[in-house]
């Protein structure tokens, strides 16, 4: 595409208006564009490639743990939603309905899937007959639709892309183990691949998935101190098994309901990583997910250009052979300075500069996007130095995000304390909670913060509910959330 | 899943009822199941993995030729279809419509995409301003929906999976070159990866894509002598550019319409490869696309079992390390004979047997699914022998399919000749055609055969139209088609 489109010429500073900053960055970096359909975006190639890299890595992890992919219909008959009461109440307000097709009115309306527990449930009932058929471990990569009132590119769009795992097991123990296994895969992936520190924990009943017994989540903090739910894993008990009659003959020849799970992450991970890592210069992409990890820019006067480019090409080939995602920008109609800004804005983790003086000295200049100054390294050690630098950038990004989260987290003993913190700043607040929905709702009504989850590893154990002062059953993380 | 579901116990012979054979095979091999939504199937893991392997290889080829992936909305506003007259006429009868969403009636109905020329067109008009922005080479992997009256699993389903490439170019020459480049990628992929010989050619006007200037296709022959369109590539001229106002400033600073192309293959490739290669014992999967390329089965009495399995595991590790998709079936509750039948039915290209006598002799038995008898090979050459055997199986499959097609192809000078052939047999008929739609329709009405394409390399050049006897403008392949 063209170098500069003009429609976004400057990026609004984060401190001035974080939402504007976000929209400026994703449009200027050509990650997305608005579509003519309300709440739906176009994932442009530079945005979609982030999703491809996320997919490839997660898919590998799913398969390593015995899951296989399948594909189920996008249409779900209306009657399916009626079968699980909580499920229909949760999703009904967000469904788009196909009422006509092939020139005729349909006898039964078809929803566009917002999630597929019901369709998987219907098919599993046909396939599962005996304990020998269990577990069933299937994942699906698909588009889903939830007709959201307020949308935000990547983070909340009417149509989005995701994966949804649906598994069936002989008993509660196995299903709960699967639920936690997948949450741990998400935590590990998000922290060690996307460099985003997350808080893993259990959702409160009011925040759980419609139809789940328990929902678990990993929650990240964006640079405006809000929470973003990055992945969820649900233990569904026998609720969907009972709704769809998924029974099997157990080892004692008795009919039993299966225990099911579901778990998913979506393209909101793209929005999350941008909001967690980005800065006033633009995107900052974690090296492991960055489409371009290294950009090489030749510098120096025209007379040395040919010689410099020859060397750049030689080094490029070495990096490429080592599996580094590297590109060269040797255009001569834009200045090196323009290129530096451009690739910083696009979040390329590492820049390599090479000029005539570097040629003489047998070195190149490495300029990391974050965490450290430019430095020179010997050309004959380039591959190992680049791999080391990318590792360092990943670690730096994770540490910076973690430090930011720590600086924007505190604990509160009372609702007033929480309120004061939310007014002066934003962030995560740990507080005791008695377990009543009324107290949880009061926090939301008075501060805008919702319970994010009950962390597995809270930094402190609270003894009293921040609202009513009664004994605390849980320590909860509260935050304003995307 | 369970070993035998019982619902398909025997496979109907192809000669008895080819359609029944097809359904028996795909259900018994657990490639698909019917869904509760009319015309939509569930792609079960063994079926979906074929698609994953097709995707991986095609995606690599698309990217090698400079294309990038993106994702556009599944919803297309009704007004978009009105903008290109032929397009709306072609697709309108097949569209499902979303008329309500989020609890409200929509102001404008939204179609579920049957193809995305219109949505890409709308966005390209925003992105393309100058010749410097061209070419735009974008592909999308997506689900699409066409509300078909008669459906057949994989080959014609209401919802299916596909890729759709959409490109924009400065001029006709570039766009035509792209159209042919992609057709050639399809031809090469289908022949050299799926072992399906195809006839490449141009569609007649009545068979072209709704809105195209020219459509090109690759056509395969199934084992019941029918044609299946395996891939298409379209030169769209400036039709969509005019409909969506995609103009750019050319090198002389003049406003010009871009020339666009589109091209796609779909999950019907799965149906095609089954119908081209399958036999009365079940599936025959081309080695390059087969999820399991090699199945290893230990044989012999219980007392040698442990020792044999140890050797099998050792050889398995060698094959795995060499990149072969290999599995071991060492279950002791089913007989080797049962396993042989099972994996033959599932189309695994190569079986390896190993028993105590083979151990003594330092050999294994290779049993190819097609093209040759069992043979023994030395264990210390197993990897190279297996790779060679898989290559041979691919080549054999291609040659068998080609021979079948040749035996079921002929040329006809008159409609009576064509009709006689279609009555006694099925297959491809090359014949001269004057270019009139009336003559083409008469062939269809009287024989059920439609023009498949105008082959680039016909086996003969016909001089007279088979219907009217006037001068032939083209030599056309006619066949009954899926």
Task: Show residues of chain B in contact with A97, CB under 8 Å.
Answer: 98-101
pLDDT in tens, B231-273: 999 999 999 999 999 999 999 999 999 999 999 999 999 999 9
Looking at the structure, tell me whether residues B229 and B87 fall in a common domain: yes
pLDDT exceeds 80 at position B332: yes
Residues B308 and B265 in one domain: no
CATH code assigned at B418: 3.30.110.30
Q: What percent of chain A has pLDDT over 70?
A: 98
* CATH number, domain with residue B170: 3.30.930.10
pLDDT in tens, A318-361: 999 999 999 999 999 999 999 999 999 999 999 999 999 999 99
Interface of B with A in 147-186 (CB under 8 A): 147-149, 159, 161
Considering the domain boundaries, does residue B225 fall inside one?
yes
What's the domain count of chain B?
3
- The residues, ordered by sequence, that sit 6+ positions from A144 with a Cβ below 8 Å of its Cβ are A112, A113, A114, A115, A116, A159, A160, A161, A162, A164, A266
Give residue-wise pLDDT tens across range A248-272. Answer: 999 999 999 999 999 999 999 999 9
Find the mean pLDDT for residues B324-336: 95
Q: Are residues A331 and A474 in the same domain?
A: no
**Do residues B273 and B348 share a domain?**
no
For A163-208, write each residue's pLDDT tens digit. 999 999 999 999 999 999 999 999 999 999 999 999 999 999 999 9
In this predicted structure, the answer to whether residue A4 has a pLDDT above a threshold of 80 is no
**Any idea which residue has 């015995």 for tokens?**
A66
User: Residue A182: left (phi > 0), alpha (psi -120 to 50), or beta?
Assistant: alpha
Residue A22 has pLDDT above 60, yes or no: yes
The per-residue pLDDT for range A266-296, each reduced to its tens digit, is 999 999 999 999 999 999 999 999 999 999 9
Give a yes or no: residue A13 inside a domain: no
Question: pLDDT tens digit string along B169-227?
Answer: 999 999 999 999 999 999 999 999 999 999 999 999 999 999 999 999 999 999 999 99
In a domain, B29, yes or no: yes
According to DSSP, the β-strands at A247-249 and A227-237 are unpaired
Q: Are B122 and B260 in a shared domain?
A: yes
| pLDDT band, residue B84 (cuts 50/70/90) | confident
Q: Which of A357, A392, A427 is the last residue of a domain?
A: A392
Average pLDDT, chain A: 95
Do residue B363 and residue B236 come from a single domain?
no
Beta-sheet strands, E only, within B170-305: 199-202, 214-221, 227-237, 247-249, 255-257, 259-266, 294-298
Per-residue model confidence (pLDDT) at position B8: 55
Closest CA to A29 of A306, A435, A428, A347: A347
Comparing B20-34, B117-131, B415-429, which segment has the lowest mean pLDDT? B415-429
Please check the confidence at residue B1 and state whether its pLDDT lies above 90: no
Residue A54 lies in a domain: yes
Q: What is the mean pLDDT of chain B?
A: 95
Burial of A374 (0-12, 13-18, 19+ CB in 10 A): exposed
Q: A133 vs B1: CB contact, 8 Å cut-off? A: yes
B134-176 pLDDT tens trace: 999 999 999 999 998 899 999 999 999 999 999 999 999 999 9
CB contact under 8 A, A99 and B100: yes
- Domain boundary among the residues B215, B249, B277 is at B277
pLDDT at B6 over 50: no
Please check whether residues A217 and A313 belong to one and the same domain: no
Looking at the structure, tell me whether residues B221 and B322 fall in a common domain. no
Examine residue A301 and state whether it is found in any structural domain, yes or no: yes
pLDDT at A5 over 60: no
For residues A69-73, average pLDDT: 98
| Residue A46 and residue A144 share a domain | yes
Tokens of A186: 């998400």
pLDDT reading at B364 higher than 70: yes
Q: B389, B419, B438 — which closes off a domain?
A: B389
- Between CA B241 and CA A146 the distance in angstroms is 32
Here the CATH number for the domain that contains residue B330 is 3.40.50.800
**Overall average pLDDT of the A207-226 stretch:** 97
pLDDT at A472: 96
- Say whether both A353 and A448 belong to one domain: no
- What is the per-residue pLDDT across B390-446, written as a single tens digit (0 to 9) for each? 999 999 999 999 999 999 999 999 999 999 999 888 899 999 999 999 999 999 999
Establish, for the pair of chains A and B, how many residue pairs have beta carbons separated by less than 8 Å. Answer: 165
Instruction: From B187, B159, B168, B204, select the one nearest B38 (Cα to Cα).
Output: B159
Whether B395 is in a domain gets the answer no
User: Is A396's pLDDT higher than 50?
Assistant: yes
Q: From B96, which residue of chain A is nearest by alpha-carbon distance?
A: A101
pLDDT in tens, B268-317: 999 999 999 999 999 999 999 999 999 999 999 999 999 999 999 999 99
A376 pLDDT above the threshold of 80? yes
Residue B185: beta bridge partners?
none
Contact A72 B36 (CB under 8 A): no
Q: B54, B71, B145: best mutation site toward chain A, by most A Cβ within 10 Å?
A: B71
State the pLDDT at residue A424.
84
| Closest-approach residue (CA) in chain A for B48 | A70
Q: Is the pLDDT of residue B2 over 90?
A: no
* Residue B91: strand, helix, or coil: helix
Residue B398 lies in a domain: no
Question: Which of B47, B101, B167, B266 is most worth mutating to test chain A (most A CB atoms within 10 A of its CB)?
Answer: B101
Which residues in A lie closer than 8 A to residue B162 (C-beta atoms)? Answer: none
A271 and A166, same structural domain?
yes
**What pLDDT does A1 receive?**
37
Domain match, B52 and B103 both = yes
Phi, psi of B85 (to 5 degrees): -60, -50
Other residues' Cβ atoms within 10 Å of the Cβ of residue A362: 11
Contact list in B for residue A159 (CB cut-off 8 A) is 73-75
- A349's tokens: 């983790």
Is B399 part of a structural domain of the chain? no
Q: Considering Cα of B296, then B301, then B304, then B306, what sign does the dihedral take?
A: positive
> Domain residues for B354?
294-389
Q: What is the pLDDT of residues B310-324, one digit of tens each?
A: 999 999 999 999 999
């Amino acid at each position: 595409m063209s170098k500069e489109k003009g429609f976004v010429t400057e990026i609004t500073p984060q401190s001035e208006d974080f939402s504007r900053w976000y929209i400026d960055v994703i449009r200027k970096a050509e990650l997305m564009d608005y579509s003519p359909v309300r709440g739906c975006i176009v994932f442009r190639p530079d945005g979609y490639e982030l999703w491809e890299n996320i997919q490839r890595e997660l898919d590998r992890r799913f398969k390593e743990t015995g899951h296989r992919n399948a594909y189920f219909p996008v249409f779900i008959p209306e009657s399916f939603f009626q079968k699980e009461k909580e499920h229909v109440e949760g999703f009904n307000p967000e469904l788009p309905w196909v009422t006509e097709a092939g020139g005729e009115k349909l006898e039964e309306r078809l929803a566009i899937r917002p999630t597929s527990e019901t369709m998987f449930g219907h098919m599993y009932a046909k396939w599962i007959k005996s304990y020998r058929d269990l577990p069933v471990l299937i994942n699906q990569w698909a588009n889903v639709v939830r007709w959201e009132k307020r949308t935000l590119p990547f983070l909340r769009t009417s149509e989005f892309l995701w994966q949804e795992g649906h598994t069936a097991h002989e008993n509660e123990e196995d299903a709960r183990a699967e639920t936690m296994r997948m949450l741990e895969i998400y935590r590990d992936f998000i922290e060690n691949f996307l460099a985003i520190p997350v808080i893993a924990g259990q959702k409160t009943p009011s925040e759980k998935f419609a139809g789940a017994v328990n929902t678990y989540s990993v929650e990240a903090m964006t640079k405006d101190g809000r929470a973003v739910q990055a992945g969820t894993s649900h233990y569904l008990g026998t609720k969907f098994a009972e709704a769809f009659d998924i029974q099997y003959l157990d080892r004692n020849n008795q009919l039993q309901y299966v225990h099911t799970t579901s778990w998913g992450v979506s393209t909101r991970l793209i929005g999350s990583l941008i909001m967690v890592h980005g800065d006033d210069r633009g995107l900052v992409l974690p090296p492991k997910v960055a489409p371009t990890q290294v950009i090489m820019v030749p510098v120096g006067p025209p007379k040395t250009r040919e010689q410099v480019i020859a060397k750049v090409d030689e080094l490029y080939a070495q990096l490429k052979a080592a599996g580094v995602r590297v590109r060269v920008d040797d255009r001569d109609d834009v200045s090196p300075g323009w290129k530096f800004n451009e690739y910083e804005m696009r979040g390329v983790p590492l820049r390599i500069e090479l000029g005539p003086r570097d040629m003489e000295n047998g070195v190149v200049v490495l300029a990391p996007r974050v965490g450290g100054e430019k430095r020179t390294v010997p050309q004959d050690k380039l591959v190992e130095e680049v791999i080391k630098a990318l590792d360092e950038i990943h670690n730096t990004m994770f540490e910076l995000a973690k430090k930011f989260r720590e600086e924007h987290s505190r604990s509160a003993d009372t609702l007033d304390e929480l309120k004061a913190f939310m007014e002066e700043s934003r962030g995560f607040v740990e507080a005791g909670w008695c377990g009543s929905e009324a107290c949880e709702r009061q926090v939301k009504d008075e501060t805008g913060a919702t319970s994010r989850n009950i962390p597995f590893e809270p930094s402190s154990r609270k003894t009293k509910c921040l609202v009513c002062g009664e004994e605390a059953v849980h320590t909860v993380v509260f935050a304003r959330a995307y």
